[in-house]
A and B are shown apart, each in its own frame.
Chain A
Amino acid sequence: MKTAKFTNVAEAAAHLAEDPSVAQLVKNEIVRNELVSALIGMRLAKGFKQEKIAEAMGCDPSTISRIESGNDRQLKWTDVEGYVSALKVQMNILFDDPSLPTADRIKQCVFKIHEHLESLASLANEVEDDPAIVREIDRFYKQVLFNFLARFQANYQKLPCAVRIPHQTKLVSVGTDRRDRPDHYSPKVPEAA
């Protein structure tokens, strides 16, 4: 039996074209289809047919087919807005300016985490009259908190200014260089943003 198996479409395309440079071109094209791909994925996850989206958008199903057959650069803003609204999904747009000072970008990340935590709390309040669901959410929150802290710790340790105090689980902030840390340094937990 012949075998030539891939897990990556771009590599398969390059292999068949006998040209390694094709892999990057296909990857670029895949990136140009991310939004369309996400829209189709959400539609199918909700079990909606194109006709249902078209009805909600007040257009012909062929318009939905056209939207799904295009790439991201061909999408009109009104199409995206209508499609997402038909799915009853909220859309968030994240702007990230790499030219901003690092401190500002860190601040934005912290604010974003704060927003997401608030969203979690808001979701819990929506179902507070059902004790079974609230109990499950409570359990879920503990898992989320645990996972968040684990990831926070792992990421925090990657920061150049973070050091781990032996036999302690808390992380401390010690300025910009660990060599600056005085021997009598008293560990403190970083303040919330």
Chain B
Amino acid sequence: MTQPWQIDTAYASPGRFKRFAGKHPREYESLFANLEKILRLLRAGNKIGGFGVGFFRSEGGEVYRIGQTGVESAKESRLYVYPDEPRHVMYILNIGDKDSQRDDINGSKNIVGTIKKEMGQ
């Protein structure tokens, strides 16, 4: 039985995603195709911790990163998400490359804090 999951983009910076999609379109498509893979696993009832899938890993603070795959000569890219398992909401937080990952991860963790505060958690 599939479980419905929603995707929330309200906390992501559209300007940043727009720039990334323009500069690295193939990586952008791959990142979101991999997000779909993850959502299918979640909809099937799998738990985040039990995936063991190479392109999906925890960055701590409930932030997960999705990597691009299958793109030749790709720019190492990351899509940062916060899967809220109890509420079945996948928050899209940030996008970036290897060079900006430290700032991207910290920024993403701050967003998760904001989300949790707003949810009263």
Residues of A within 8 A of B (CB): 1-10, 12-13, 15-19, 22, 25-26, 28-30, 32-33, 36-37, 40-41, 44-45, 49-50, 65-66, 68-71, 73-74
The reply on B118 being an interface residue by CB < 8 A is yes
- The 8 listed contacts between A and B (C-beta, < 8 Å) are A3-B10, A7-B6, A22-B25, A33-B34, A33-B37, A49-B52, A66-B54, A69-B67
Contact A69 B118 (CB under 8 A): no
Q: How far is the CA of A74 from the CA of B14 in the complex (A)?
A: 32
B14 CB → nearest A CB, Å = 6
Provide the B59-95 mask, 1 if CB < 8 A to any CB of A, else 0: 0000000010110000000000000000001001000
What's the A-B contact tally at a CB cutoff of 8 Å?
118
**Residue among B44, B46, B69 with max Cβ neighbours from chain A (10 Å):** B69
- CB of B70 within 8 A of CB of A44, answer no
Mask for B40-59, Cβ within 8 A of A = 1, else 0?
A: 11001010001111110000
Q: Does B9 contact A (CB under 8 A)?
A: yes
Are B8 and A4 within 8 A (Cβ)?
yes
Residues of B within 8 A of A70 (CB): 69-70
Residues of A contacting B54 in the complex (Cβ-Cβ under 8 angstroms): 65-66, 68-69
Task: For the complex formed, measure the closest distance between the CB of B53 and the CB atoms of chain A, giving whole angstroms.
Answer: 6
**Cα-based distance from A84 to B35 in the complex (angstroms):** 23
B36 on the interface (CB 8 Å rule)?
yes
Interface of A is mostly: helix
Find chain B residues with CB under 8 A from A33 CB. Answer: 33-34, 36-37, 70
Q: Which residues of A contact B4 (CB under 8 A)?
A: 7
Cα separation A191 to B5 with both chains bound (whole Å): 45
Contact A7 B18 (CB under 8 A): no
Interface size on B, residues (CB 8 A): 41
Nearest CB in chain A to that of B119: its residue: A1
**Contact, CB under 8 Å: A18 / B14:** yes
In the complex, what residues of A have CB within 8 A of residue B52's CB? Answer: 49-50
Bound complex: CA of A18 vs CA of B13, how far in Å? 11
Shortest CB–CB separation between residue B118 and chain A, in angstroms?
5
Chain B 7-21 interface 0/1 with A at a Cβ cutoff of 8 Å (1 = within) = 111111010011001
Which of the listed residues B6, B9, B30 has the most CB atoms from chain A within 10 Å of its own CB?
B9
Q: Are B7 and A7 in contact (CB under 8 A)?
A: yes
Contact residues in B for A16 (Cβ distance below 8 Å): 9, 12, 14, 17-18, 21, 92
Choose one: A4, A7, A9; the contact of B10 (CB below 8 Å): A4
CB B15 to nearest CB in A, in angstroms, measures: 9
Q: Is the CB of A40 within 8 A of B10?
A: no
Asked if A17 contacts B55 (CB within 8 A), the reply is: no
Among candidates A2, A5, A50, residue contacting B7 with C-beta atoms closer than 8 Å? A5
> What's the Cα separation between A93 and B112 when bound, in Å?
44
B29 at the interface (CB under 8 A from A): yes
The answer to whether B8 and A40 touch across the interface, beta carbons within 8 angstroms, is no
